[in-house]
């Protein structure tokens, strides 16, 4: 199957129309003003993917509270998707409330760089974090044999929203950073004049590493 250059962080998310389990969508136009987690899975009716869909649905309300929509995708047919989500509801008691794209031709997956021929003949486990302006903010990739950490996906959305609102950066393992716990990092000063002010204004390890509570 043909491959293409994957979209990069900071790029505008590619536009497409697609058939889904919840009807046709026009992306990203239908999601203006919302955060979106667009993710691909290798195949329906597979064990790891089933656990992932269950995990996403269990956190669905948490994503909704963050004004964040979920969109799944694989190269299976819409009929396969529908039967699979029915199976999940009947057997695992989880109703999948987000749309799942049926990308049977693989055109969207190719456009998004979700197919890695040297690793898989189908879509890998890609995750695209897209902001309300339609800009790709982060990208994660996992191989077929490794399920994703869904608390991390939720954490990324929360962190971006706080970083954007307060113009700060987020430390490693936020909100449980080993040095500053749930505090956030102040961007370094842009000139020498601001160094002394920065040291007086915030808690700092040095002028280039200052932090504050939200």
Instruction: Report the number of secondary-structure helices (H) and strands (E) in the chain.
Output: 6, 10
Residue 5 confidence (pLDDT): 63
Phi, psi at residue 87, to the nearest 5°?
Answer: -60, -40
Q: How many Å apart are CA 59 and CA 151, to the nearest integer?
A: 8
Delimit the CATH 3.30.1020.10 region(s) of the chain: 167-214
Give CATH superfamily name and number for 16-147.
Answer: Glutaredoxin (3.40.30.10)
Percent of the chain beyond pLDDT 70?
Answer: 97
Delimit the CATH 3.40.30.10 region(s) of the chain: 16-147
On whether the 167-214 domain is CATH 3.40.190.10, my answer is: no
Q: Which residues are catalytic?
A: 49
Prediction pTM value:
0.93
Upstream peptide bond of 87 is cis (omega within 30 degrees of 0): no
- For residue 126, give the nearest of 29, 6, 2 by alpha carbon: 6
The answer on pLDDT for 1 being more than 80 is no
Sheet holding 184-186, edge to edge: 184-186, 209-212, 203-206
Dihedral (CA of 90, 80, 149, 16) sign: negative
Residue 119 confidence (pLDDT): 76
Q: How many Å apart are CA 120 and CA 114, to the nearest integer?
A: 10
């Amino acid at each position: 199957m043909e491959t293409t250059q994957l979209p990069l962080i900071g790029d505008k998310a590619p536009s497409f129309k697609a058939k889904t389990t919840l009807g046709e969508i026009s992306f990203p136009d239908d999601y203006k003003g919302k955060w979106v987690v667009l993710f691909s899975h290798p195949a329906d009716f597979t064990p790891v993917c089933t656990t992932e869909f269950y995990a996403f649905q269990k956190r669905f309300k948490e994503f909704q509270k963050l004004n964040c929509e979920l969109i799944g995708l694989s190269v299976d047919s819409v009929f396969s998707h529908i039967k699979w989500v029915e199976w999940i509801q009947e057997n695992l008691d989880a109703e999948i409330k987000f749309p799942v794209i049926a990308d049977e031709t693989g055109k969207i997956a190719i456009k998004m760089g979700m197919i890695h021929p040297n690793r898989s003949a189908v879509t890998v486990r890609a995750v695209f974090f897209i902001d309300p302006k339609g800009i790709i903010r982060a990208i994660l990739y996992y191989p077929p044999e490794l399920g994703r950490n869904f608390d991390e996906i939720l954490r990324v959305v929360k962190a971006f929203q706080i970083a954007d609102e307060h113009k700060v950066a987020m430390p490693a393992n936020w909100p449980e950073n080993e040095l500053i716990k749930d505090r956030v990092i102040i961007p370094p000063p842009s000139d020498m004049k601001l160094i002394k002010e920065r040291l007086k204004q915030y808690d700092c390890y040095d002028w280039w590493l200052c932090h504050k509570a939200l």
